[in-house]
Chain A
Amino acid sequence: MFALVDVNNMYVSCERVFRPALNGKPVVVLSNNDGACIARSNEAKDLGVKMAQPWFEVKHLERSAGLIALSANFELYGDMSSRMMALAAGYAPRQEVYSIDECFLDFEGMSGDLAAIGRELRHQVLRWVGLPTSVGFGPTKTLAKLANHVAKMSDRKPGTYPERLAQVCDFERLAPAELDEVMRRTDVGDIWGIGRKTAPKLHEAGIRTVLDLKRADAATLGRQFSVVMQKTVRELQGTPCLEVDDDPPARQQIMCSRSFGDAVTELSDLIEVVSGFATRVARRLREQQGACNAVHVFIATSPHRKQDRQHSPTATLPLPRSTADTRALVNAAVMALRAIYKPGYRYVKAGVMLVELQSSKHEPTSLHLFDDVEEAQPDGRRNLMATLDALNERFGRDAVGIASASKRSAHSQHASRQERRSPRYTTRLDEIVVAKT
């Protein structure tokens, strides 16, 4: 059994923990340049604000409907994410952090009332961290993701699905006919791994609902569309094709993480691992012609080794400008790692996630120029630096100067384009919550 745990409207929910006045109000969070809406409260969704909609298109709602827009505060979101992930990890033998606001849990070998476990998890994250989540259970990752969708939608829009599926939804507890009915009410476009371009094609082929897709022939669709589609259909039919830590079929967020066979304690080893991850995600980012705005790094001790001291920190490093450059991303990931690493802990997992992806078409530099860098597997900090230094020598002093350049340009740029950013309540001592007496 798999669970998908997902924070509702993550960025807005993070803001609301520290700004209670935002509760019940329409709120959007804007991308790096305050250009587009990358998160929306339910109230903002009800006003008709679309995902990724340019801010200028909805700005008029500020006056007419009291819409509140905030600049993205990735440091805050990254820290709140790490808290949520650390709590969720304690509930199952295996966890796959899938994006900044969602993770899969693999309950293989566990029995009992999973929905009750899900409610407990949900309650703990809400209470401890302040974030509302939805939890979906299913025998495959695709079904768990669908169950999560059902849990979220029935909470947000009562009547969409049976009320008892709200917040925590366990497909195993549904009779086959009930599950079919849920699938009949759900558009194929809401399925994990079916993109905006694929959904209309399926519609044309007469496959409108998830139930239609489940009843389709996997092999035929596989030939018509892709191997991914074939897997998706099999997963809907209940046959697991994706394991935890398998590459997800869709890449809205790019993430690379692994659990280690043996615990790692040395910084140099972690740098090697994290550099490798950053190199891989950078390559994937360029494959989809994307660029990202922040790098999120986490390392974790094992919550199941109670005898070990626990330390599962994360860091999110906002980038001065969106990029897909391997050097900038490796650099940022290692910086973040150095800030969170503490000696004396047995780390069993690490990951690098690229946050806030966007199309790179406005990215001025050539993205493929430095691809050869990727083949260099940095062997610890010295080799990493040597690699970067060699690059510097080869391509000019500013080539690798992303992080230091950020210092120079960050102040001027951030000042103008993050006008609406709230304080970084959990990562900067001079920005913490103030309580009056």
Chain B
Amino acid sequence: MLRERATVSASTPRSRVAISFGSPAGESGVTRLDLNEILIRNPQAAFLVRIAGSAMREAGIDDGDLALVDRALDANHGQVVIAVHQNEFLCRRLCRRDEALGLQAPAPDVPDIWASEADNVDVWGVVTHVIKQVSG
């Protein structure tokens, strides 16, 4: 009964992201490369988000990809972010023009979104890495 881990929640993405190469090599004191440590700078601020849609394809982010998001980072002009717009999560490239905050996608048919008093835009986190499944 102790083997039924499906009902157990592990906490940080660090211990949950199922992409680790393996466990430490025992008594030698040498440890294998660990993707969690390589990719996640701020474990407490790290979240995984699933991408839906193809508007960001030209930016290298496609439908079904896993985005690794860091909420600790300042969102700078040109970075890919997860934003909240009209209460929905949206993956876009951030655009800062003077004081204005914009969300853009490389797809030509996708209109820019500019934050205004009536139409709020919140940056939820900065996308630091994208994980794509290419086979298997």
Contact = CB atoms under 8 A, between A and B. Distances in A.
Interface stretch (A91-99, A219-227, A255-263, A403-411): A403-411
A436 interface: yes
A129 B2 CA distance: 31
A316 B9 contact: yes
A435 B12 CA distance: 20
B54 interface: yes
Contacts of B88: 20, 436
Nearest to B18: A429
A336 B92 CA distance: 37
Given A339-B10, A404-B1, A313 B15 contact: yes
Contact of A344 (B23, B48, B49, B53): B23
B15 A340 contact: yes
Nearest to A424: B9
A130 B50 contact: no
B49 A434 contact: yes
Interface string B50-65: 1111111000010100
Interface string A255-273: 0000000000000000000
Contacts of A407: 4, 7
B36 to A, nearest CB: 10
B11 interface: yes
Given A79-B11, A79-B12, A129-B71, A437 B4 contact: no
Nearest to B8: A339
A427 B50 contact: no
Interface string A322-336: 000000000100111
Interface string A206-229: 000000000000000000000000
A426 interface: yes
User: Which size bracket describes the interface of A in this complex?
Assistant: 35 or more
Interface string A238-250: 0000000000000
A402 B39 CA distance: 38
A129 B124 CA distance: 10
Contacts of A87: 44
Interface string A404-437: 1011001000000000000011111100111111
B52 A127 contact: no
Contact of B55 (A129, A310, A434, A437): A437
Q: How large is the interface on B (under 10, 10 to 19, 20 to 34, 35 or more residues)?
A: 35 or more
A310 B50 CA distance: 27
Contact of A75 (B9, B52, B53): B9
B101 interface: no
Interface in B1-31: 1-2, 4-5, 7-16, 18, 23-24, 31
B82 to A, nearest CB: 5
Contact of A435 (B9, B71, B90): B90
A310 B37 CA distance: 10
A368 interface: no
Given A429-B48, A433-B89, A437-B90, A83 B12 contact: yes
A361 B126 CA distance: 49
Given A436-B90, A437-B61, A437-B91, 7 more contacts: A129-B45, A331-B1, A343-B23, A344-B23, A435-B52, A435-B67, A437-B51
26 contacts: A20-B87, A78-B9, A87-B44, A128-B45, A311-B14, A313-B12, A315-B8, A315-B10, A317-B9, A331-B1, A334-B2, A335-B2, A340-B15, A344-B23, A403-B1, A406-B7, A407-B7, A410-B7, A433-B89, A434-B51, A436-B52, A436-B89, A436-B90, A436-B91, A437-B56, A437-B92
Interface of A: 20-21, 23, 75, 78-79, 82-84, 86-87, 127-130, 298, 309-318, 331, 334-336, 338-340, 342-344, 385, 401, 403-404, 406-407, 410, 424-429, 432-437
Q: Which 7 A-B pairs rank lowest in CB-CB distance, beginning with the nearest?
A: A75-B9, A437-B53, A427-B9, A128-B45, A344-B24, A404-B1, A21-B87
